[in-house]
Structure 1
Amino acid sequence: MTYTEAWVTARARSSYEHGRASFDIRPERTALLVIDMQDEFVEPGWSPYWVPAATRMAPRLQQLVEECRGVSIPVIWTLFDDTHLGLDRPRTLRFLPHADTDWRRPGPARVWGQMGRHADEVLIRKPSYGAFYDTPLDTVLRNLGRDTVIVTGTLTNYCCGTTARQAYERGYKVVFGSDVTATDDETRQEPELAVLRKGFALVLTADEITSRLTATQHA
């Protein structure tokens, strides 16, 4: 068979738009990652880094958190924070547009209070986008006996997407919440989901995640 340009392009487009990973979500092997739902990203008007879409989707994510707790899925929270005086951050961050304001956080980063984090849930302070970069997340997940992660939070195409890629590279099955992630320019949401859908993760809505967890429990 000769593969034409039209054929391979159509095949790629179908994977970006409709592709689905083929693994099951087993609650006893899964952890929920809530990425950077912190004051400066979620509290309306609190910082120049506010992500309005994150504020809007927060109630849906809170519901997913409760549903995961209900089936004994551990919830792990992360914060993008100033750790080790910033000396553990990639050195080139200072040259990028992301660091283009003079705003400084008043004190350490905090999970947005309305998210309802429990005191006995793991909180990881990370120095860069991905939650696996220079953090104990991989060790925590392995000690919990988890090989599947549900990635939620903000920003879809930075910290969430990077975490999904890092998890994939470490052999985890990755579920990515399409409507429990958010970015600062909503036109960037679907393009990021498309790449993740084709090459890194099972991309599902919160309702689809819940449905699969329930189906697996009752199987």
Structure 2
Amino acid sequence: MTDEQTRRVYERARMGGRLGLGERPAVLVVDFSCGFTDPECPLGADMTAEVEATRRLLDAARRRGLPVIFTTIGFEENLVDGALWVRKVPSLGELRLGSRWVELDPRLGRREDETLIVKKGASAFFGTNLAAILTSLGVDSVVLCGATTSGCVRATAVDLLQHGYPALVPRECVGDRAAPPHEANLFDIQAKYADVVSLEEALEQLESTGRRPSAPAQHPAEG
């Protein structure tokens, strides 16, 4: 099937609607730790361009006073908390708590008041209190960045939708180890789970809709 045929199939299925951002967005940066952004790590790749693009987005969000949340993957020394995932992907065993590979890429410039969630699974929601954090901050939508597009970014995009949070994915701000899975998953995320947009469009939406939450808003999913 050609790309044009694929596009027509998805159009016929009426996939790819637009969600947009709400009035109280947050930026969520998934797993831009050194283990993924440094090619010296078996899990990593050179994600300089993606990290720098994300820093532009973060600086814009910070100027607007918007919440910024980071995640990283980290396991105990015995890797028991990695369960089946570490058996399936043994190189995840490099991500032991306390190691450099678990640390966020310093180019992101994380601030002391910006939340860091340590997770054990692909989705930023799985086994974490991310949903409670978003609710307590009054967040109604998310700009999603990070690595990898085909793994933790995709899993988080699915769960953002399922938790009722519209999401933007700036394509310059997400990365993977190889182009084919990166592009295929961006296509699928756009079709089913979130709005895949350019960095410039994401910045424009932040500037036009984002503001500091003045009070916690009741999240629709919480009833």
Superposed CA deviations along residues 98-132 of structure 1, whole A, max 9, x for unmatched, are 21587565824211112110011000000111100
Aligned residues: 205
**Residue 49 of structure 1 is aligned with which of 43, 54, 67?**
43
One-letter code aligned to 1:43: D
User: Are the counterparts in 2 of residues 86 and 127 from structure 1 also a CA contact under 8 Å?
Assistant: no
Superposed CA deviations along residues 183-207 of structure 1, whole A, max 9, x for unmatched, are 0112211110111111110111111
SS of 1:50's partner is coil
Structure 2 match to 1:199 = 192
Normalising by structure 2, what TM-score? Answer: 0.81
Report how far residue 158 of structure 1 moved.
0.4
SS of 1:176's partner is strand
Report how far residue 93 of structure 1 moved.
1.6
CA distance 1:103–1:124, change in 2 (3 Å):
closer
Structure 1 match to 2:27 = 32
Residue identity over aligned pairs, in percent, reads 25
**Residue 84 of structure 2 is aligned with which of 78, 83, 92?**
92
Q: Distance in 2 between matches of 1:138 and 1:126?
A: 13
Q: Distance in 2 between matches of 1:165 and 1:187?
A: 20
Q: Extract unaligned runs of 5+ from structure 2.
A: 212-223
Q: Say what the alpha-carbon RMSD is for the aligned residues.
A: 2.7
Structure 1 match to 2:214 = none
User: Are the counterparts in 1 of residues 20 and 166 from structure 2 also a CA contact under 8 Å?
Assistant: no
Report how far residue 175 of structure 1 moved.
1.3
Q: Extract unaligned runs of 5+ from structure 1.
A: 1-7
Q: 1:146-157, aligned counterparts within 5 Å? A: 146-157=139-150
CA distance 1:182–1:10, change in 2 (3 Å):
closer
Normalising by structure 1, what TM-score? Answer: 0.83
User: Are the counterparts in 1 of residues 75 and 93 from structure 2 also a CA contact under 8 Å?
Assistant: no
Structure 1 match to 2:103 = 110
Report how far residue 172 of structure 1 moved.
1.1
